[in-house]
Structures are given as structure tokens and as C-alpha cells.
Structure 1
Amino acid sequence: MNIKLYMAKIIVLLLISITTSKAQFLDEFNKDKIDGWFAMVGDGTPEMRIISQEDYATIFIDGTKDKYNVYWTLIKRDVTKWLDLTKLKDSNFQLRVEAKVRVHNAPRRLNFMVNTNRTVNFHIDLMEFDIPDTTNWHVISMTTKKFDAKPGDTVYVQMAATDYGLEKYQIDIDYYRADIVNIKEAGPDKGILVPYHPPIPNLKNFANQLAVKHDCVINLDFPEVNFNDLHIKERNENIFVLDINTNQWGILRWDFSKYRDAKITEAGLLELTSQSVTLGGNYVKALGEDFGMEFGKVRVIEILSGDPLWDQSTVTYNTLTQNEKYSNVFNTQMVYDFDVEEGPVGKNYITISKPVLQRLVDGTTKGLLIRPLGAVDASFYASENQDESNSAKLYFNNSNGN
């Protein structure tokens, strides 16, 4: 064989090999051991491990030793050698990550995040996904918008589960893929995407405004007592409030009969109006900056079970929960944590994601629970007041059904 022809073939084979090696990263978790991935936890004391099963991997999360349920757990790995980062010089190319997952508690959210050794803001390339059931495998994917990576950087991909609760949980992964894709050819991302902390839109953008039908507080110390008459004196007038603290939480329920067949088109807003708020505590000094900043907020949670038709004039903790344990009634992963407007008459607008709104409309989610995260004592105006402008409301858009 001509030596020049031979060398030319060798060069072609090498180029093919290099191109192939940088085509994409794909882990199908079909080996005896997990290779290249490492687990990380933070903002609490959860435990986490990832093990190989038959043709998939399982993440085990143990929250039983945690106290506050603001923790994060994630798996992460370096995928640099599989990616051609020079493509990112062209704005038509971005990094896409994709996985096929199954959860054992639902509904739950997972999130993707990608970053490099130079990343400072870890929330830029982050997307959450709503996983609605425990029976099906779900393909989820995220494509970056302006991923800041260049040749010489180390690129990390990860998948995280945050604030899952104080029990034990499992997440199965069939595969994880990472690739530099042409965004004009790749098609839309997969799964039920839940953008992380989107900006609050103008209320005029919403066609529907629905006032709460029933609202009350439930008290863990007095689980048999109804507190619908909870009030304060304001200018010699009784002002009815939803006063929440460590052992007393607010509950909200709407009448969606008018929207029985509605299909929610986008995220909406929950409006709560503050009457008075007591805040304080140097959490950062005691717990550190990243952990401490999680507190001094109010948490919004889905009510998934219990009495679906509770009445504000009679509901108690016991009647709502029907003597079931907390995790059987309330989603242990919150919808949203928000900083409270201290008021008075402070307007709080909390993003309610599209899938959560759809579950509320469908009746899968029975209502919303509001409880403090930290030593917070907050009072919100209740629906019993004559001034209905300050009662809880939902703002949303839908494509049909009124």
C-alpha cells in the first residue's frame, strides 16, 4: 500500500474517532457500578447515595435526620471530554441535557443544572420539571440559552432533588445524555418545565381572577378546634385574619366549578395581603449564609388529600387531615417559598406553576397550605372581611372552559 494513502487513511480514522468521541455524553446506567457520578448534599442533614440497578440507577434520599426540609441533594459529573465546546461560538448551538426518570412519590419536581469551573451564578442554567405520577417513566430535557463555556473549561452536568421532605425517597434514572445541539434543529425541550423563580408578571396579563371560597387556620396544639373567627381589633372593628406561626398554618380552597374543563396555559399568581408581620432572627450567623438565607419566609404547599370539601366554619386540623399523617395529606415538597411583604396591606404575589394550577382546577390538589419557614408570625387578611379586595386570590389564564 502506498505510504501516503496509508497515512491518509490513518488520519481519516483519527478524525472520525475524535468526532465520534465528542458526539455526545450518554450514560445508560447498565454497568455493575456507577461510573463518574458523585453525590452532593447541602443546607441540612439529608443523606444520599446512588446505586446501580438492572439497566437503570436509583438515587436514595434519606431526609429522616434533617430538621427543616430546605435541603438540596444532587448527582453531578464532568462531561467535558464528550463535548465539542468550539460549537458554542456559534449562537445556533447550545448544550442540551436529557434524562429518563421515574419518581416514587408524586407530584414532585426535579431540576437540571449545568455549569463550568468558572460559573458564579448557578441559577442561570437551571430548570425544574414537574413529575406528576409514580407509574410512568418521564423524559425531561433542558437546553441552555447562552451557556458560558469555551475550550479549556470543565463542564459539569447534574440532576437535583430539593426540599423533598423528612422521610425516605427514591428516584430512578434510565439514562442521562448531554450534547451540543443546533437549537434550530433540536426541537423543543421535553417534560413539564417549571422555570425557577420567574419574574412576577403584570396582573393585567391574566384573564381570570378568582377569590378564595374557604380560608381558615389549623392549629397543631389544638387540632380539634376551629379558628374561623380569628381576628384582631383595628379601629374598633374586628378584622378577620389568617395568622400563621410555627404551630398554626393557613389553608385555602377555591371553587373551580366554573372552570371545570379549563386547560391552564401558563403559570399564575397567588395574591395574599399582609395585615401584620413579625420577622427577625440572625439565621445567617447561626447557620451560615447559604443555609441561613432560606429562613424568615413563608412556604406555600399543595394539599393533596384529606377532606376535599372542608368548610371554613367547621374545619379543624383533625377534620382536614382525617387523622392521616402530614405526608399523606400535604405535599412535602413545597410549591414556593416567598419573602413576606411586611405591610400593612402589603401585597404578596407568589408564582403558582402551570402544573400546580392545573391540579387545583382538576381537583387533584385540594387547596393550598401556607406555613412559616423560620420564626415568622404573619397575619394575612381573611375572606370574611367586608373589604374583599384584600382576600386571597388566584390569577391565571386558560385556553377553554370559561
Structure 2
Amino acid sequence: MIKPTLDEEKKETKFSKKYWKYDGLHVISFTKAGLREENQDGISIEFELNDKLKESDDRLKGYYLFGVYDGHGEHGDKISDDCVEHLSKYIAKRLYELPIVENEKEIKNAIKKGFDDTENYFKTHDINGIKGNKVRMSGTTALTVMMTPKKNLYIAFVGDSSVFFMSSNKSKKINIEHNCHNQNELLRLRALRQKGFMYSIKARSGRKYLRVKDDLSNEIQYTRSFSDFYIKNFFSGGLIAEPEIIDKVYSAFNLDLLVLASDGITDRSKIFNKHPTEIYLSYLKRYKGDPNRFVKACDEMIKLCDSITEKRICVDDMSIIIIIILNGKSEDEWCHIVTKNAEDPEDWDNTTHEDELSDIDDQDIYNQNSNEVDDFLVSVPLSTIPIEYYDEDSAMNFTISDDDNFD
């Protein structure tokens, strides 16, 4: 087993910060609760997928799997824990059935089958001794990135976690979350109207919250997840666990930095109009010559996230995996290249754009009017909803917005 060089963990609060150095990669992960009693997020780092199957050969040597999971519902923490354990195992099992030579179509199909197997597991098993409706009313999202022996990257996800790349000093968000800002998801849901499936978003204007029809059970914001069978049984084909696998297969040889983040991280970074990759490199620039710079920059991100939690602007649980890809460079050389155009933290970290919070897709945005956490909130900029589609007293028909994520 490949062990991290740093391993800080508090099981009672499900806090974890770990650091690995392996195969030209530096991998830092952390997960931490927001303002809930339980951290419902989960993280998986798998450098030895063979261990998931207890096979004696090395057929899966060089296949790495990184995952971020975001549970929800009364037992979301247990669902995400089970997903951490089983999704990687089922993907490994399906990969093990393939020929040794890499084939893009076969690998993508193996990943999809691994997601399907995981959903079937949740259908047929109790979770940590919890039975019946309590399990069926909880679920989790999942985001995975697989790296193959040839350093190809396969991205698969259900739900609203995000993946970011940094290459040639440019940051790029790769996926579009499965929520009510995703045009393809909205079109998919709209096609189900004849079957009685409805969905919902809320729009915020100043201190007023305006409701826009339709209803997706309890105003959840994600449109794909594992478990949640109490919804799926009601609305067959609406909320689904089918993974979206990004068509393009990226090469790690062309990348400097890879970040997987739950929406608790991305929503906090949006407050500063930054990608998590940009925030990390900004702090890394501060510790450029420090031998512990990779971890210290992550510590600064944690402090930033904590400050946002304390202000109760965003209170969701937060999880992130930061993957530094040296590609033959020394640590000093890599740091010099990737931080060359990074902003100093002082240029942005003292100002939060609270006037732009309506752009944040967070189920736990602080409702300043009620002084409570508003669970399951999906916000969209009010300007994107034509006036004829809403009023303050009644729910009206829904229209697809012109949100930036549609580009």
C-alpha cells in the first residue's frame, strides 16, 4: 500500500488532510465539515486498484483513481462513505475484465459499468446497518478522474462537483455540473414533463426569493446522484445515476495541475471570481521557496474556506484533491513556471463579492433575511429570467436561462 507522507485525520469530525508523493505526482487532499454536525463529503485516492480486488497479478498497475463525493440527506455521510468504498472497487473490477492494452471505448464502458454496479449495490444493500426509507431518502454525488499507465485522464461524474486543469498558466473548468444551470440536463428534464416529472429553481433579487416552477422533490439542485430512491421511484428517469463521461481524453503530459472539488469548494471560490486552481497557485506563490510549499498553500486555502464559513456566506462541507503533475521538472522549476502569472493573494482575498452571490449554485447559501441556512437552494441570476415567467405570489412556467455555464 502506498502511504501518504502526511496524514492528519480527526475521525470524530471526518476532517482529513493528506499528502502523497508518487510517480512524479504530488497529491494533497482535504475534507472538512462546514456548519453541519456531520461532514457528508468523502474522498478517495487509489494508487493501487489491484488492492481493491485482492488480485495477485499487476494487471491494473499504473491505473490511478481519484474521487470526490458529496452526500446529502439524513444519512448522506454513510452513503458517501459507502460510495468511496464501492465505486472504485466496481470500476477496478470492470477494468480487470478488459484486455491489457488501453482502448478508449472499452475503458469508458468499464467506468460506466462501475457506476451502474454502484447504483445497483445501493438498490440491494442496507448501508451500515441502516435499512429502509432512511437510506432511500439519502444519496451522494460523485466525481472521478482515472489516470491510466499512459497518463491518459478519464473524467466521469454524477452531480455537482467540478474538475479543473491548469496548463500553460491557463486555468480551465472541464465539466458542467448536473444541476439546473446545465442546459443539457434541463432539456432532458423538460422532455420528461409528459411523464409528470417536474423540477424547481429559486431566483433571488436582493432580499426576496422568487420561485420558478417546476418542482424537483424538495428543491434539490443536482439532477444526477447515487441512491435517492425515494425520488427516483416517484420520477423514473428524472433524477438518475448514469454518469457523464467527458468525451475528450486529456493527457497528463500536457497539464501542470489537476483539481477535483466538491461544490462547497467551488462555491467559495466563486465569491472571489476564481477557480480553485487559481487560488491554490496564488497561495503557492507566497511560499515559492519553502520546502513545504505544496501543503502550506493548501493550508491557506483551508483558512480561506473557514473564513467564508465563519461569515456564513457559504456553509456547505468542503473537499478538494490537488494533483501536481511535475512531468520531469524539479519542484523549483515547476513552481517557477506555474506561479509566473499567478496573482498575489493580497490582490483579491480581502474582498468578497457578496453582491454576486446569486450566481452561486450552493444548496447552503446563507439567507441573510431569515438568519438561517437555506437548504436545497438553487439560485440563478434574476436578470436571466424573463419577467413574464415569474411573480412573487405564484409559480409560473420555467424557461432555460442564458447562464454562463451554457457556453
Superposition TM-score, scaled by structure 1 size = 0.30
TM normalised by structure 2 equals 0.30
Task: Flag the structure with larger Rg.
Answer: 1
Higher share of residues assigned strand:
1
